[in-house]
Amino acid sequence: MTEKSWPIDVAVMGGCGHVGLPLGISLAESGLNVGLYDVDLGAVDSVGSGKMSHWEPGAPEVLEQVLEQGRLSVSADASILGTAEHVIVVLGTPIDEYFNPDPQAVIKALERVSDELNDGQLLVLRSTVFPGVTQMVERLMDRLDKAVDVAFCPERIAEGRAMEELHTLPQIVSARSDRAFDRAAALFGHLTDKIVRVSPEEAELAKLFTNSYRYIKFAAANQLFMMANDFGVDFERIRAAVIEDYPRAADLPGPGFAAGPCLLKDTMQLAAFNNNNFALGQASMQINEGLPLYLTARMAARYDLASMTVGILGMAFKGESDDNRSSLAYKLKRILGVRAAGVLTSDPYVTTDGNLRPLEDVLDCSDLIVIGAPHKVYAEMDISQPVVDIWNVRGGGVCV
């Protein structure tokens, strides 16, 4: 099946996004000919002209290099998928307003481009999927009479570290057949030497377990922070004492907004998979999603919010990132919009929010400052107003 001559080695479906773009340019850097397919015309134009569609350290230089070398092409035309031996699917897997996952999202996306798929291809699912979706895709290929191998190789990178972690982390590879596994392992062997083989169902759960475990850890830290804070002591001092030269507690996180496009979504997907029986995950959602309310209540008890303008510094969901998807800083902004006289926001990285103000304006016009995302630039900044800093970016503790 693989003896056919293919115009390009790899096509990435969703190739201009936060996951697909670093993967695509890394594969191109390894020597493969890569095509990026995306329906976002703005992102296609940006990447095609050598500009990253989002902030990712180390990526702009690689993008420029592989474009100049002719190993990367970018297109909004789905026909590019049919020219590649390997097709990697990197698409968002949504949940609705009731936290119900949509297992059909990947299936529907593949149905829309099914005419472009050809016998002999390897179809690699890279998106985080509801358990059983890989098998659904296999059945879809059978129903469409496509002689296409299917593998599921979950994405494992952290935003901001993609260009490092794509080459240093082991790659989980799963497939129903040895042939599909061998092909997928060879593909990702261009990036990393260590391949971990599991079944598709094990790989699907491995990805969900990873994100849910991280979400639960952050919830534990946030709950402990609230307990210490209500008792009038600084949780960060306690945490520092606990973790010092004590390996069994070394992974205790500090408090902060546990947000972004994956952790909550994947925790709720796991709950749905287990017949809504995931008490740890559901309790974690209440704690993490409730943190902006808790902070507002603590600020209201200490300050006259109704007469104050509050400035929020950092609207991304994590530090040193331009990604504001599902950021709890926006939830905090909405809550403060009811309790405070005014709310101003700023972020040095985020470019997709037209309501952001220059940092100088926020500092000049605010009576109280909240660190919404732990960008390093805020650590040594001269701020004359009181600062609420649950991230401890400024090193003054996390008491509110």
Burial class (CB in 10 A: 0-12, 13-18, 19+), 251: exposed
The architecture CATH gives domain 217-388: 3-Layer(aba) Sandwich (3.40)
Q: Cα(193)–Cα(71) distance, rounded to whole angstroms?
A: 22
* Ranges for all domains in the chain classified under CATH 3.40.50.720: 8-201, 217-388
Backbone angles phi, psi at 116, to 5 degrees: -85, -15
Tell me: the pLDDT tens digits for 211-240?
999 999 999 999 999 999 999 999 999 999
pTM for the model: 0.94
Average pLDDT over residues 129-137: 96
* Strand duo 342-346 + 368-371: pairing: unpaired
Nearest to 126 by CA among 258, 42, 268, 10: 10
More confident residue, 385 or 97: 385
Residue 206 has what pLDDT?
A: 97
More confident residue, 4 or 310: 310
Q: Please check the confidence at residue 65 and state whether its pLDDT lies above 90.
A: yes
Residue 300 has what pLDDT?
A: 98
Q: Cα(343)–Cα(129) distance, rounded to whole angstroms?
A: 37
Q: Please check the confidence at residue 98 and state whether its pLDDT lies above 80.
A: no
Tell me: the pLDDT tens digits for 341-380?
999 999 999 999 999 999 999 999 999 999 999 999 999 9
Q: Please check the confidence at residue 169 and state whether its pLDDT lies above 50.
A: yes
Sequence length of the chain is: 400
User: What kind of fold does domain 8-201 have according to CATH?
Assistant: Rossmann fold (3.40.50)
Q: Cα(335)–Cα(327) distance, rounded to whole angstroms?
A: 14
